Amino acid sequence: GQNIDQPTEMTATEGAIVQINCTYQTSGFNGLFWYQQHAGEAPTFLSYNVLDGLEEKGRFSSFLSRSKGYSYLLLKELQMKDSASYLCAVRDNTNAGKSTFGDGTTLTVKP
């Protein structure tokens, strides 16, 4: 099975940088995904890591360390519209390719 932990809530200031951490335990790692979900909307894909290291995509970057079971999502130059829930999801290659989602981190960006 899988166990995914991420902080419940975070608050940051507009223009700042915030790092959302995710730790996981899995029997067969096959990729980690980050999703953004605004209130009342469906999750949208942000980033994907399967190898160790940093993946950068504009203001968003995601890092993975498979040996530590650890990932983070880095958001730079925060904007008010970044206020949302951020979901960490791990795909398990021993579980028919299914992904397990963490409980999400609710980020509030303040002026």
- Between 12 and 91, name the residue whose CB sits nearer to other proteins: 91
Pick the closer one to other proteins by CB: 20 or 89. Answer: 89
3 state DSSP class of 69? coil
What b/e sequence results for 2-25 when a residue is b if at least 16 CB atoms lie within 10 Å of its CB, and e otherwise? bebebeeebebeeeeebebebbbe
Using CA atoms, how far residue 85 sits from 20, 26, 91, in Å, is 11, 23, 19
Least Å from the CB of residue 53 to other proteins = 15
Which of residues 39 and 111 has its CB atom nearest to other proteins in the complex?
39
Nearest distance, CB of residue 16 and other proteins, angstroms:
25
Residues that bind other proteins (CB under 8 A): 31, 33, 35, 41-45, 48, 50, 87, 89, 96-104
